[in-house]
Chains A and B, each alone.
Chain A
Amino acid sequence: MRAARAVVALAAPLLVGAAEPRLVPDVSDTRIAIAYSFTGAELLLFGAIVYPDGHPPAHPPDIAVVVKGPAEPLLVREKAKIAGIWMNHASERFRSVPSFYALATTRPLDKILSARTAAIYELGTANLLLSPASGGPADQQQRFAAGLMDLKRRSGLYAEHVGDVSIQQGALYRARVPVPARVPVGSYTAETFLIQDGRIVAVASRDIDIDKTGFERFVATAADRWPLGYALAAVGLSLLLGWLAATVFRRRPR
């Protein structure tokens, strides 16, 4: 029953698409290059809302923008005090944890969508499906998921930006999503949701690639493809620098 409802909800914008507004989205960068001086970036997601009758309604719609990084499996460990010492005592696997998740909205999420709709579309960090895989009790899975969320939030990899989307004259929207320096590389998706009267009426998606470039890319590739050569280069570099310093200091008059 719940699944059927989810399908209906997902298909709803398509079924009534003809009479609903559409989104024409764009992003400032479809490729973010991480170079030596990379200290983070700011993605600008913008576009137009096209209404079937050409006029924005009196009650303007809301926009939610989600930037999501590639999902990865993770093992989360929990420490507890055992015999006076804090040590890891339990762990939980999560099959698909987005490496990055940023949500930007015009207004607080609970003001524009029902909790159920937000959960169906995985909107908001609280609604992410992490797919716990250990089969432990539900309360334990929740506790671990909360710990993981907290870690991700504090490292800036999960964020919710309320009010960071502005709509001009009901037709042009623009959202700024900051991307922190320690963002993992991979293919990201930027999804824009048009929300009206508590319903999602249009969805548009764009892909963004975040990748290392230049020297950084070369180093990362070398470390991955030619590990032995990379290791020898690292050892060689340290021997050279050590020898150089020793030589320079010996020449120095005392």
Chain B
Amino acid sequence: MHLYLPIAGLSVNALVIVLLGGLVGVLSGMFGVGGGFLTTPLLIFYGVPPAVAVASSATQITGSSVSGLLAHSRRQGVDFRMGTVLVAGGAIGSVLGGLVFRLLQKTGQIDTVLSLLYVALLGWIGLTMARESLASVLAEKRGRPPPPPIKRHRRLIAMLPLRWRFYGAGLYISPLAPFALGLLSGMLTVLMGVSGGFILVPAMIYVLGVSARVVVGTSLFQGLFVTAATTIVHATTTRSVDIVLAGLLLVGSVIGAQLGAGLVQRVRAEHARLVLAVIVLAIAIRMALGLGWRPEEIYTVQPL
């Protein structure tokens, strides 16, 4: 079934887009990652202009975040206080991200800079997650009790002034730490059309030490607000939000997110984390290789 996308300016197979949304939705519900890291490149591969792919996938993440968030909040899986701090950081981050985006776009180095940034970030996060989750999975296989989660006392974070209690997260830390984290993920949302969850989930677990039970829900809560802000930023500046494309993706992803949230209850947390670690590492490796391979297109065109 072919459908014409009014902003992207091309016809797509509606079913393919809905299925793509569904796949991304399952990931979103399971891991709290928006799946933009999959949607954006796949849409570009399908022939959607990059700017439209980035902007419309941000719109789609909003929908799958609501869907996943409602599922998680019914299970008390959201720390709203931490979420609010993350949103505040994310709002400022998305404005900063917009400025950086324009600067890099002018010099034409946006792709390279983002790829490098991603390889470094994903490589680090993926390795940390893989090591930790593999250790718990192996310990369990040998019949030993899994090693107790190490409450890492990060000196840098502990040094920050002004401590708040985050009950859901089980933390007593300065709000400045989650604020900075929100800022970083907000920038990435605007730059890449990915929800910050990709960075946020591992960072909350391994850097802040947030209780695993609320990590996914809280990350979805932050992603919801930040991607909504991103949609507005893109619609008013780059004018590249395609509501038909976003709608098709949404139909798939909101259903997928519900399935994913249900699935995560039946899967062991460390197994789910191991799967996410493998996905993250695979993307990091693919991106690192992509930097060195001769690209398919040597020439790219930008309208003036």
Contact = CB atoms under 8 A, between A and B. Distances in A.
Interface of A: 34-40, 72-79, 81, 84-88, 91, 93, 144, 147-148, 150-151, 181-182, 184-185, 212, 215-217, 219-220, 223-224, 227-228, 230-235, 237-239, 241-247, 249-250
B131 interface: no
B263 interface: no
Q: State the main secondary structure of chain B at its contact with A.
A: helix
Interface string B61-80: 01111110111001000000
Interface stretch (B90-98, B181-189, B236-244, B268-276): B236-244
B3 interface: yes
12 contacts: A74-B302, A85-B292, A182-B9, A223-B243, A227-B236, A235-B59, A237-B59, A237-B250, A238-B250, A242-B64, A245-B67, A249-B262
Given A86-B295, A151-B297, A36 B67 contact: no
A93 B302 CA distance: 10
A237 B4 contact: no
Q: Which 4 A-B pairs have the closest CB atoms?
A: A242-B66, A238-B63, A147-B299, A231-B235
Interface string B17-47: 0000000000000000000000000000001
Contacts of B4: 34-39, 181, 216
B303 interface: yes
A85 B112 contact: yes
B7 A220 contact: yes
B301 A241 contact: no
A245 B47 CA distance: 29
Interface residues of B, number: 58
Nearest to B257: A245
B300 A246 contact: no
Contacts of B112: 85-88
Which of A39, A181, A228, A235 has the most chain B CB atoms closer than 10 A to its own CB? A235
Interface in B231-268: 231-232, 234-236, 239, 241, 243-244, 246-247, 250-251, 254-255, 257-258, 262
Contacts of B241: 223, 230-231, 234
Contacts of A247: 70
B109 interface: yes
Nearest to B297: A151
A28 B112 CA distance: 47
Contacts of B66: 238-239, 242-243, 246
B219 interface: no
Given A85-B292, A227-B236, A220 B6 contact: yes
Contacts of A228: 232, 235-236
B235 A230 contact: yes
B240 to A, nearest CB: 9
B228 interface: yes
Which of A150, A220, A242 has the most chain B CB atoms closer than 10 A to its own CB? A242
Which of A34, A37, A212, A245 has the most chain B CB atoms closer than 10 A to its own CB? A245
Contact of B70 (A36, A78, A242): A242
Which of B239, B244, B304 has the most chain A CB atoms closer than 10 A to its own CB? B304
Interface in B107-131: 108-109, 111-112, 116
A181 B47 CA distance: 12
Contact of B231 (A150, A231, A250): A231
A182 B60 CA distance: 23
A41 to B, nearest CB: 12
Nearest to A89: B108
A34 to B, nearest CB: 6
A241 B231 CA distance: 16
Contacts of A182: 9-11, 47
A72 B303 contact: yes
